């Protein structure tokens, strides 16, 4: 549990939903905290921990999106996603994947969706690409 590839996948999902690296990292951290907060017997019952973590991360993002939308309603101007940091935790392969999957047009389309639609769209994309 907690492989770097799995964490990268969760960060990718969360970033695609939230448009902020910081908020994505917080969402993934919260999902892992919930996982390790489960009793051991409950964790052992879960057949696909990766799918469970992805679902929980999506739900956390949905909550964040609800509060973010409320904040942006008071903001005057266009909302733009936070740019990805240069090289810190993201290796070049991750950068290429994110550049391809998280273009400005994609984020604009996601922004036009309700938070629930956005989560459903991204989770559908994630689960059907595995």
Amino acid 53: pLDDT: 95
Amino acid 41: pLDDT: 94
Radius of gyration of the chain (CA): 15
Amino acid 116: pLDDT: 81
CB-CB neighbours of 60 under 10 Å: 22
Tell me if the pTM is above 0.85: no
User: DSSP letters of 43-94?
Assistant: HHH-S-HHHHHHHHHHHHHHHHHHHHHHHHHT--S---PPPPPSSSS--HHH
The CA distance from 43 to 37, in Å, is 9
Q: Look at residue 118 and give its three-state secondary structure.
A: helix
Amino acid 28: pLDDT: 95
Phi and psi angles of residue 77, each rounded to the nearest 5 degrees, phi first: 130, 175
Half-sphere exposure of 120 (CA within 13 A, CB side): 5
- Tens of pLDDT along the chain (130 residues)? 666 788 999 998 898 888 888 889 999 999 999 999 999 999 999 999 999 999 999 999 988 887 755 565 555 566 566 666 555 555 555 555 555 555 655 666 767 778 788 778 777 777 766 5
């Amino acid at each position: 549990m907690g492989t770097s590839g799995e964490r990268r996948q969760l960060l990718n999902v969360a970033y695609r939903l939230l448009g902020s690296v910081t908020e994505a990292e917080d969402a993934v951290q919260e999902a892992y905290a919930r996982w390790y907060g489960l009793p051991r017997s409950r964790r052992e019952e879960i057949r696909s921990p990766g799918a469970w973590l992805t679902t929980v991360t999506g739900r956390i993002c949905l909550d964040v999106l609800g509060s973010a939308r409320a904040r942006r309603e008071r903001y005057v101007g266009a909302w733009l996603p936070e740019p990805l940091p240069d090289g810190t935790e993201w290796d070049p392969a991750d950068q290429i994947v994110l550049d391809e999957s998280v273009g400005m047009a994609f984020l604009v389309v996601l922004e036009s969706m309700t938070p629930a639609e956005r989560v459903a769209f991204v989770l559908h994309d994630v689960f059907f690409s595995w």
